[in-house]
């Protein structure tokens, strides 16, 4: 099935983590490629590329790595989740190991426009100078996240 749904992706604890999704897109910095399909077996390499592929209600699941990326979220879709594998198993170790690192950017490391209902779930956001995010979105939620310098 081309649609990588949560039930096909092993989301056995989905009720526990309270995340519902139409489709899961996977990111793994070490083994992924942006020419892959974004499934668990064939993940993308960058969060930004995964975000360019999202549609309404999708979840982007990032593996336990440090991602030195500035994210520009310009999707017109709503109810997008960016989370670690914490979503799948409830293991808080993923929150500490799945890191979006702004690498001391002088401006916001996450730019959000034209989206509604964005959730960051079980990730660490760090090293943003000044602002962590710049947003025009009307609803941004952080669940089980860690924010640090």
pTM of the model: 0.80
Tens digits of per-residue pLDDT, 15-42? 334 555 689 999 999 999 999 999 999 9
What digits encode the pLDDT tens for the residues 61-74? Answer: 999 999 988 787 87
Q: 3-state SS of the chain?
A: CCCCCCHHHCCCCHHHHCCCCCCEEEECCCCCCCCCCCCCCCCECCHHHHHHCCCCCCEEEECCCEECCCEEECCCCECCEEEECHHHHCCCHHHHHCEEECCCCCCCCEEECCCECEEEECCEEECCCCCCEEECCCCEEEECCEEEC
């Amino acid at each position: 099935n081309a649609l990588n749904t949560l039930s096909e992706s092993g989301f056995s604890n989905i009720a526990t983590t309270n995340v519902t999704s139409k489709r899961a897109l996977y990111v793994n910095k070490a083994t992924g490629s942006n020419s892959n399909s974004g499934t668990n077996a064939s993940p993308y390499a960058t969060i930004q590329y995964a975000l360019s592929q999202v549609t309404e209600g999708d979840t982007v699941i990032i593996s336990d790595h440090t991602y030195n990326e500035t994210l520009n979220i310009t999707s017109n879709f709503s109810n997008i989740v960016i989370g670690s594998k914490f979503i799948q198993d409830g293991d808080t170790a993923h929150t500490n190991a799945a890191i979006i690192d702004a690498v001391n950017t002088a401006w916001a490391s996450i730019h959000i426009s034209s989206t509604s209902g964005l959730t960051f779930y079980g990730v660490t956001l760090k090293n943003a100078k000044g602002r962590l995010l710049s947003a025009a979105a009307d609803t941004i939620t952080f669940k089980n996240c860690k924010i640090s310098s």
